Structure 1
């Protein structure tokens, strides 16, 4: 049995396992040990972790995709427990793209929720969001500022609408509000991202609301950890070409980065070097 390959971090291995699963529709333990140069026990531990996260279904000798992955929408608390360190790194990197005095939008999601906590330090923002959780972050920061204990303040516009399991507000009320507004930057969380399906979500109403968000933004910044790559939800709402910047983490495999660079001008790997733009020039700074 081969010794474990120390050059691959655990999250990088798991991202490669998921990529293999999506491309082939199933994986076997003995094949993964040869491909990743790790032990049988290491592969089985990785599959256990991915199974607990709801990323795959374990079967005898390997794993298969979840049957309802395209329509399953976990609640906010369930998603909050996943990839916490990656989301925090992404949030810190994305927060630098918000300029004082600008009008920004934040979609629902646990990564945008992490981002909101950093954006409370940026002065004089106007924030439009359809996330109850995000609005609560800025509300709490405003109360602290009133007590003289917090530097940042923001004007927050909550869209209204029908609440989803992930605590986002969607539907005709939200859509009508967003259509009348214009944002300097949209920070967008996603359920899934792929070259074929673009940006997608399992919730049809949320897809429509996100579509309006994208249409009202001068710049679209997607914040998504590496586990979102290759995931396809029920409804697509934007292509990769609609995205100006993707902020992700170091767990994204190199092959995925190369494919993304063919479609998105700027790829920012939080905690790592900036990626080159598709034309070979350095990616624009925020």
Structure 2
């Protein structure tokens, strides 16, 4: 098992049980004590877990907590890849598409570089870089300005003013959380304001959110559930969440994540 796969397995166990012991991980994963402690150190440095004596526990998830891009990029990788593939099927050549900041929209960007004649509007430095590296002459990429957040979003008055002058066919929106009470939310007040402008500028709102986002509530609401024309999630979404979303959103699409082995084979 590769280090990244092992760390993902450790992280998923911590999220499921609330905490792990080093001795248990050594036994179950068949690696040394030093290897496990190194893995926990990596996860702790990225803000994903909190180290305690003899193990680690889940990191706090308050309504204003905003992990950095690197930390979020490790979470639910198979789910994000499946969601991105499914969402890319909704994008037609020759259209104007806005992508908000986030690791799921960043994953989507890697699939959209193959769509011809796109105009892409984004407030994400990371998303813009994906298209810049692809260097397709038939695609136009507009990176709006603003103040940079921990998740590499450009937000604030400059971003809001830029978005207000735009009209796009579809907005692909990544979110921090979603719930029946609060709708689609973010822990960053300025990012919420910018994202609300992106919602207003789009004819169609497509929300990309893996199953762990259900029940998570950030401090600021971007849009209500009923404003989403499409929500793309994964098959890990609970029956309760499926029923609630199906009642409020236009269309709910569920993508089937690949296993780690399938993802590794595909990369060869």
- For 2:98, the equivalent position in structure 1 comes to 105
- Matches for 1:222-261 after TM superposition, within 5 Å: 222-261=207-246
Deviation at 1:228, TM superposition (A): 0.7
- Matches for 1:1-286 after TM superposition, within 5 Å: 69-142=62-135, 145=136, 153-271=138-256
Q: Does structure 1 retain, via aligned residues, the 8 Å contact 2:47–2:71?
A: no
- Cα distance between partner residues in 1 of 2:181 and 2:249: 13
Residues 238-265 of structure 1, C-alpha deviations (whole Å, 9 max, x = no match): 1001111000111111111011111112
- Cα distance between partner residues in 2 of 1:75 and 1:56: 13
Count of residue correspondences: 228
Deviation at 1:66, TM superposition (A): 6.2
> Judging changes above 3 Å, is the alpha-carbon distance between structure 1 residues 206 and 128 closer, same or farther for their aligned structure 2 residues?
same
Residues 117-156 of structure 1, C-alpha deviations (whole Å, 9 max, x = no match): 10000000110000000100111111xx46xxxxxx4101
SS at match of 1:71: coil
- Cα distance between partner residues in 2 of 1:80 and 1:104: 22
> Which structure 2 residue ranges, 5 or more long, are not aligned?
1-8, 19-23, 29-39, 258-268
Please report the RMSD computed on the Cα atoms of aligned residues, expressed in angstroms. Answer: 3.1
> Judging changes above 3 Å, is the alpha-carbon distance between structure 1 residues 55 and 80 closer, same or farther for their aligned structure 2 residues?
closer
Q: Does structure 1 retain, via aligned residues, the 8 Å contact 2:125–2:153?
A: yes
- Cα distance between partner residues in 2 of 1:225 and 1:129: 21
Higher mean displacement: 67-76 or 93-102: 67-76
SS at match of 1:218: strand
Deviation at 1:65, TM superposition (A): 8.6
SS at match of 1:251: coil
- TM-score between both structures, scaled by the size of structure 2: 0.75
- For 2:3, the equivalent position in structure 1 comes to none
| Structure 1 consecutive aligned stretches of length 4 or more whose deviation exceeds 6 Å | 51-59
> Which structure 1 residue ranges, 5 or more long, are not aligned?
1-9, 19-26, 28-40, 147-152, 273-286
SS at match of 2:197: helix
Higher mean displacement: 159-168 or 66-75: 66-75
> Judging changes above 3 Å, is the alpha-carbon distance between structure 1 residues 252 and 170 closer, same or farther for their aligned structure 2 residues?
same
SS at match of 1:219: strand
- Cα distance between partner residues in 2 of 1:269 and 1:211: 25
Deviation at 1:237, TM superposition (A): 1.7
